[in-house]
Chains A and B, each alone.
Chain A
Amino acid sequence: MTSHDVSHGSNGPISTPAPSSGAPSSGAPAQLSPLRRFLLTNEFGLILLIVLFAVLFAVTTRGFTTPFSLFTLGRSAAVNIMIGLSMMAVIVTGGLSLAVGAIGVCAAMFLGYLIQSLGMPWPLAILAAIAMGAALGFINGFAVVRTGLHSFIITLATMSIFFGVMVFLTRAEAFRGLPPVFADFGKMKFATYFSPLLLVTLAAALGLGWLYRYSVLGREMLAAGARPEAAELSGIRVGRMIIYCHMLSGALAALAALMLVARNGAAIPSMAGQLGQDWLLPAFLGPVLGGTLLNGGRAAVLGTCLGAFLVTMLSSGLLLMRVGEFWVQSFLGLLLLLAVLMDKLRRSYLARRNLV
């Protein structure tokens, strides 16, 4: 897994000989040991919280540590992490996408249509559904780049359009005749505790980690997101990068929806709520808790995974504690605010101590 801060090209414990003699200038941050540096990261804070709450739930609730409960926790976490990564891919550009849920549902329904109505073999249909997600992402990206409007407006519009067209075409009917391979995959367990969906998510996360850290494409996406004008003048085709980011987000949203199809054994129009809005909270919670900068230019893949995992664990733990569903929602909203506040404090602490 990639380290916490992939935007910085070269970072972490790699020590580089300073290319020149002379003391660092007065504005330069103090040097920290890699360990202390890690202890000050978002990721470490998240791990701490995860352990803390895990212990709390294990002690106070009955059933949190049962194999089945851990299995469903992992399965939900796999989907939520994927949703978070899908949002992260767009936040990297300094924008956002309200349409991740709508895109996901459209892709899932497209899969159902291809298999059930056209009789397409399921592996092909999966690829086609992911391509559908990317294509809807392309529409978002293209509109954002061409109009110069903020992605908030564009995706607010496309969210309704995508969802509306999907409902019209499917008549809001679910595709329940999918081959058993989906449901089987959703129910499958390995090592009694784990859902193979976690592997899909792990693969996606590793792929993204590689993308942002070790590939030109990912680096160009980050550069385009951080300072579009500077990136453009350095030879990066910023518009194209923004479109790619939206396409990547769409593909990941489709993947998340396909995982839900596996869990449900069917493609259901309401699987992400009205207009796909049920996805929005987990979509933003993961990246924001994980330390992805909302102004773009930084992708925290590991952080997003940890953040989304924490959120999933909290909701399922709270439900086990028999806290009402509505309280869980309120709690998650509160958590989002708290996380942003904490991060702001952490950053200003680091900046004041010249540690950034």
Chain B
Amino acid sequence: MDVTPIFEAKNIVKTFPGVRALKGVSLSLLPGSVHALLGENGAGKSTLIKVITGVHRQTSGQLLLNGEEVSFGSTHDAVAKGIGVVHQERNLIPRFSVAENIHLEQLANSWLRPVNYTALNQSARRWLEELNLDIDPAMPVSDLSVAQMQLVEIAKALSLQSRVLLLDEPTASLTSSEAANLFTILRRLRDNGASLVFVSHKLEEVVEICDRVTVLRDGDNATESRPMAGLGRQDLVQMMIGRAESGGTWRKRDSAAQPVVLQLKDLATSVGHKDISMNVRKGEIVGLYGLVGAGRSELAKAIMGRFRVTSGTVEVAGQTARITSVADAIHKYRLGYVSEDRKTEGLILPHSVLANAGVPIWRKLSGFLGGLRDSTVRRAVSPYLEKLEVKTPSLAQTVGNLSGGNQQKISVAKWLAAGVQLLIVDEPSVGIDIKTKAYLHDLLRELADSGTSVIVISSDMPEIIALADRIVVMNDYRIQGEVANIGTYDTMSQAIMGLIHRDPHRAQVA
């Protein structure tokens, strides 16, 4: 190798009481390269990132920067040494301006000096231009789109002179065109000599952008810093899970003869939907595709009674439904909604697995004076938690302590336990690993086979083409049209993109 690594982690061991999260993991980063860090949830990726960025201190092992051993007592130390990180969770302060967010570290260092906003904005603009981001630095971050926030975070890391930049699932909430734009920028940073670490569950992206790869499995290196050349998606999966990918693929299902469970007619809502008409049959999986901001989650919430329907009708199982609250939707009409935002909308993180899985059926299970015992709830929800193979030390475990995949399983299990006739699943595979994703897909198919109707909302086109019987395309709070899924990616993706870009004024439901 003629290039010397800019950063190396050697035999990193990190133990927590009772758990050996990293068992001697190594990684070496070259300048001018995009390095993929892969692994299932729980493989140790986040722990390794935390060690590299100074959140945790390793139990043993070395970190070398330009060949010299370094030790980070805090994230501040790591930042000072040029190691930047863009976390999966947003770390921006919403009400602060873009420029203030970018220069937060510098601002915090001089707390008595008045802030020179002109200089601040100017310097911020330089970093924004570097990223082709045409926004006003004085604008508050809360007015930006998710993709723009992501780029602002990268700008922030760059402004700190980061030579190593870790990106943890940067595309998780981006649309494909936004992701493509991000990749262009990442390539340019790479060509300028930056060393990037790219963490993602989307292997197509990894193959596309990364030139080297490290795979972790159960706290060990399955592969250490090898070139990506010659590796395909399947090889990566094999390294990650130790065997070939399983899990079903799309199969033809026919529910044309089944009764309609949900029918929306010319719906308009208080959040801005217009002329929404669509239906879902019993046992059918309908994909709701659209770019982020197309109004899909909002439509789901309007169906669930969270937002007001201003005109048009909702029919559930042939009867006109007046849904004025989510409680109505769940208890009267047996509808369920798995939110894309598990942490604030899907689960009550500080409460137990049992409490979370049981919420929608508490009322049904309660006895005299509204009394309710844990054993009753446990009897009702355990079968579903077991069926979904939720891994938790006990049902008393706080949900916030479980992995993303397990959290997602719990947020699905609670609706299975509630016995819904229609389940709306919003971005089912955001932040979960391949194994769990394949598992969830199988589960949704199985659920539909047993007669439950499913609406899958996703911005991940391969996912929606793998799952749906029929795909409804939304844009700008309207339905652009729908297509029957034939399961072949090329044909379907073209048809879907065609619908998205169709002139909205001529859009008609097929």
Could you tell me which A residues sit within 8 Å of B by CB distance?
Answer: 7-12, 14-16, 18-20, 22, 24-31, 210, 214-217, 219-220, 222-223, 226-227, 229-237, 293, 297-298, 353-356
A298 touches B370 (CB 8 A): no
CB < 8 Å neighbour of B370 from A19, A215, A232, A233: A215
Q: How far apart are the CA atoms of A272 and B265 in the complex, in Å?
A: 59
Q: Interface stretch among B1-9, B144-152, B329-337?
A: B329-337
The residues of A that contact B359 with a CB separation of less than 8 Å are: 223, 231, 234-236
CB < 8 Å neighbour of B378 from A16, A24, A235, A353: A16
Sort chain B's interface into a size bin.
35 or more
CB < 8 Å neighbour of A24 from B44, B363, B393: B393
B44 shortest CB reach to chain A, Å: 7
Chain A residue at minimum C-beta to C-beta distance from B44: A26
Further pairs besides A29-B401, A234-B359: 4, Cβ < 8 Å: A19-B386, A216-B362, A355-B17, A356-B401
B396 touches A354 (CB 8 A): no
CB < 8 Å neighbour of B42 from A12, A26, A236: A26
B402 touches A237 (CB 8 A): no
CB < 8 Å neighbour of A237 from B18, B21, B327, B378: B327
A29 shortest CB reach to chain B, Å: 6
B393 touches A215 (CB 8 A): no
Interface positions, chain B 315-358, Cβ under 8 Å from A, are: 325-327, 329-331, 337, 339, 344-352, 354-355, 358
The residues of A that contact B391 with a CB separation of less than 8 Å are: 18, 20, 22, 24-25
Chain B residue at minimum C-beta to C-beta distance from A295: B350
B402 touches A27 (CB 8 A): yes
Interface positions, chain B 345-390, Cβ under 8 Å from A, are: 345-352, 354-355, 358-360, 362-363, 366, 369-374, 377-378, 382, 385-386, 389-390
Chain A residue at minimum C-beta to C-beta distance from B393: A24
B370 touches A14 (CB 8 A): no
A9 touches B386 (CB 8 A): no
Chain B residue at minimum C-beta to C-beta distance from A293: B350
CB < 8 Å neighbour of B344 from A7, A25, A222, A229: A229
> Does any Cβ of A come within 8 Å of B219's Cβ?
yes
A219 touches B402 (CB 8 A): no
CB < 8 Å neighbour of B19 from A26, A293, A356: A26
The residues of A that contact B389 with a CB separation of less than 8 Å are: 19-20
Q: A-side binding surface: helix, strand, loop or mixed?
A: loop
The residues of A that contact B246 with a CB separation of less than 8 Å are: none
Interface positions, chain B 43-87, Cβ under 8 Å from A, are: 44, 47
The residues of B that contact A215 with a CB separation of less than 8 Å are: 366, 369-372
The residues of A that contact B330 with a CB separation of less than 8 Å are: 234-235
Could you tell me which B residues sit within 8 Å of A by CB distance?
Answer: 16-19, 21, 41-42, 44, 47, 219, 301, 304, 306, 325-327, 329-331, 337, 339, 344-352, 354-355, 358-360, 362-363, 366, 369-374, 377-378, 382, 385-386, 389-398, 401-403, 406, 414
CB < 8 Å neighbour of B354 from A10, A31, A216, A232: A10
Q: How far apart are the CA atoms of A167 and B360 in the complex, in Å?
A: 46
A10 and B360 contact, Cβ closer than 8 Å, known pairs A20-B389, A25-B402: no
A25 touches B42 (CB 8 A): yes
Chain A residue at minimum C-beta to C-beta distance from B355: A9
A295 shortest CB reach to chain B, Å: 9
The residues of B that contact A214 with a CB separation of less than 8 Å are: 371-373
A45 shortest CB reach to chain B, Å: 21
The residues of A that contact B306 with a CB separation of less than 8 Å are: 232-233
The residues of B that contact A223 with a CB separation of less than 8 Å are: 348, 351, 355, 359
Q: How far apart are the CA atoms of A9 and B394 in the complex, in Å?
A: 12
User: Which of A7, A353, A355 is the most central at the interface, judged by chain B CB atoms within 10 Å of its CB?
Assistant: A7
15 A-B residue pairs with Cβ-Cβ distance under 8 Å, sorted by A, are A8-B352, A15-B394, A16-B396, A19-B392, A27-B42, A27-B402, A28-B397, A30-B16, A219-B372, A220-B362, A233-B306, A234-B326, A234-B360, A297-B348, A355-B17
B44 touches A216 (CB 8 A): no
B414 shortest CB reach to chain A, Å: 7
Q: How far apart are the CA atoms of A220 and B370 in the complex, in Å?
A: 11
Q: How far apart are the CA atoms of A15 and B378 in the complex, in Å?
A: 12
> What are the 6 closest A-B residue pairs judged by CB atoms, nearest first?
A9-B355, A235-B330, A30-B18, A234-B359, A8-B352, A10-B354
The residues of B that contact A353 with a CB separation of less than 8 Å are: 17
